[in-house]
Structure 1
Amino acid sequence: MGSLRTLLLWGVLSALLPAAAPRAPVLLPAAAPHAPVHGQVGGSVLLEAERPAGFQVREAIWRSLWPSEELLATFFRGSPETLYRSRFLGRAQLHSNLSLELQSLESRDSGNFSVLLVDTGGRACTRVLQLKVYDSVPRPVVQVFIAAPGDAHPPKTCQVFLSCWAPNISDITYSWRREGPTDFGIEPSGLFTDGQVLRVSLGPGDKSVAYSCIVSNPISWDLATVTPWESCLREAGKSYRDVLLVVLPVSLLLTLAGLLSAWHSYYSGKKHKNVCADRVAPETENSLV
């Protein structure tokens, strides 16, 4: 199928070339694929039609190769044409230098593109470009998790895990930065799950130390910053409140139980004393008689 398209293409080019040049165009060596061209969803990108030195273009054909093969734009005898029924209809513009601009980009526009250039001498060259369209990176979400203290850690040390996540985005890179006048760097041994999780050990001297999680892709980046020591303090306060929530009710119950026991003892003793008094009275009366 690809060979048939190529023969048809050369047939069209041969018909358009001057009669003085009946031979097929001479193919120049295909250029190595260029570095990927990056675009952003909703934006535009320019696919440049590079040409060899001294190459005077007479005809040009732009095509989409993947995910589907489509004719996007042509330039014949000084007349540009972009009204082909491709997925880029209404979004493609052919410039005077024969570069192709794609507008209102979508994620599905990523793929390979080619431009075939034919000069006035019958030579032809092909350029292949790869387009990658990315979403703009949103602001990440950073969560702070406090590790339970253990005997292995020095006193007054807070072990912290910082988790970073950017929603609904692929092909992004995570990195961390310690904020401050001096950049101490991030130890690789403290990074987990491709940089999404950072482990740090904090002490009282790190109260104002902040960490930033940076998420990025080739076209955008964003960051979120946290001060972990604040979470250490909240966690300590939370633990203290938890102790109070457990200890105070138990203490109240024990106190109440003690009061009930004392009241019961007092009431029982008083009742026993009254019974004894009732027994003594008849005996006293009998002795008097």
Structure 2
Amino acid sequence: MAKGSLWSLLLWEALLRIAVTGAQVLSKVGDSVLLAAEQPPGFQVREAIWRSLWPSEELLATSFWGSLETLYHSRFLGRAQLHSNLSLELGPLQAGDSGNFSVLMVDTGGRVWTQTLQIKVYDAVPRPMVQVFIAVPGDAQPPNTCQVFLSCWAPNISDITYSWRQEGMMDFGVGTHSLFTNGQVLSLSLGLRDKDVAYSCVVSNPVSSDLVTVTPWESCHHEAAPGTASYKDVLLVVVPISLLLLLAGVFVWHSGLCSGKKKNAHTDEVAPETENPLVQDVP
């Protein structure tokens, strides 16, 4: 009886269908989503069927004369619940659950009503990381100022966006910042008045967001303590010494190789004299 009703529903869908395209439903991995079955006024449902249309066509749930059934072999087996109002709840959601879904309903007068919905499942945004890079001060840079670059990064997940905000402010000051690499890198010119100013990188997608806050002035070049060298001074010493050690190693290796060749050649020259015994006439 139920099987016959199912085939009748599919046939009526093709012949008498009134289709309604629903809105996109957004959710994230681990959550549940409720697909509401909207009915026109005066539509008294007799039979209903929920299906997955894409990426694969699967039967998810049915209702025949008030009898609800969800034990169909599909990727949502054990994760689908059909409510008495014919809304379908799916969860907990997985990363591959995005797709198109439809509900087909037949009323007591034989009218067919079809509604299509789309589910888009996103990963939850992880906490981002921020690196602070300090520009080497030039001759034209005013004293007690610092040019910094804040680089924000989060794992590569779909539809992610980057934005920045100055804590305690609605917006950045005019002409004090620049954005690069689709908002991932923020360039700032800081002064003494900015020593306690914090900046936050906000990473978001359509269903979640997270942020991390840094105080960039803490990384700026303060007056160096006695005996303290900057990274620039260290490079000026380390790089030449490393090159000298590398050249010395190459020279020693090359000298050893040449010495070995000369020794082998000398041995070859002496060998024939030692191989022939000295023969003397005996009186």
Compute the RMSD of aligned alpha carbons: 2.9
Tell me by how many angstroms 1:243 deviates: 4.0
Given the alignment, which residue of 55, 76, 101 partners 1:113?
101
Q: Aligned residue for 1:101?
A: 89
Aligned to 1:26: 16
Unaligned runs of 5+ in 2: 238-283
Q: Is the 8 A contact 1:25 1:122 kept in 2?
A: no
How many Å separate the matches in 2 of 1:133 and 1:9?
32
Normalising to structure 1: TM-score of the pair?
0.71
The Cα of 1:154 is off from its aligned counterpart by 2.6
Matched-pair contact (CA < 8 Å) for 2:21–2:117: no
Cα distance change of structure 1 residues 126 and 185 upon mapping to structure 2, 3 Å threshold: farther
Question: Letter of the aligned partner of 1:27 in structure 2?
Answer: R
2:179 corresponds to 1:183: no
Deviations 1:141-167 (A, max 9, x none): 011111122244333321111111112
Q: 1:12 pairs with 8, 11, 15, which one?
A: 8
Tell me the CA shift for residue 83 of structure 1.
Answer: 0.8
Q: Deviations over 1:24-76 (max 9, x none)?
A: 97322x22341x21122122111111111221111111111111111111111
Hey, which of these two has a bigger chunk of helix by percent? Answer: 1
Q: Is the 8 A contact 2:104 2:114 kept in 1?
A: yes
8 Å contact kept, 1:56–1:120: yes
Counterpart in the other structure of 1:55: 43
CA contact under 8 A between 1:25 and 1:118: conserved in structure 2? no
What amino acid is aligned across from residue 38 of structure 2 in structure 1?
Answer: E
Q: 1:236 to 1:90 in 2, by over 3 A?
A: farther
1:148 to 122, 125, 136: 136
> 1:157-210 CA deviation, whole Å, 9 max, x = no partner?
211111111124222221111012x33337697111111111111011110011
Match of 2:209 in 1: 221
Task: Name the aligned partner's letter for residue 108 of structure 1.
Answer: G
Match of 2:258 in 1: none
The superposition leaves residues 116-158 of structure 1 with CA deviations (integer Å, 9 ceiling, x where unpaired) of: 1111111111111110111111111011111122244333321
Alignment correspondent of 1:131: 119
Structure 1 counterpart of 2:16, one-letter code: V
Greater CA radius of gyration, 1 or 2? 1
Q: Are the aligned partners of 1:146 and 1:235 in contact in 2 as well (CA < 8 Å)?
A: no
Q: Would the aligned equivalents of 2:146 and 2:221 in 1 still touch at CA under 8 Å?
A: no
| In structure 1, C-alpha distance between the alignment counterparts of 2:233 and 2:6, rounded to whole Å | 84
The answer to whether the 8 A contact 1:33-1:128 is kept is yes
SS, match of residue 230 in structure 1: helix
Aligned residues, how many?
230
Amino acid at match of 2:172: G
Structure 1 residues 225, 71: closer, same or farther in 2, change over 3 A?
same
Q: Return the offset for 1:86.
A: 0.5
Aligned-partner residue type, residue 31 of structure 1:
V
Q: What code does the residue aligned with 2:9 have?
A: L
**1:72-111 C-alpha deviation (Å, 9 max, x unpaired):** 1111111111111001011100000100000121000011
Match of 2:58 in 1: 70
Identity of aligned residues (%): 67
Structure 1: where are the runs of 5+ without partners?
1-7, 18-23, 248-289
Q: Kindly state the Cα deviation for residue 233 of structure 1 after the two structures are TM-superposed.
A: 3.3
1:10 Cα deviation after fit = 7.4
Q: Distance in 1 between matches of 2:216 and 2:161?
A: 22
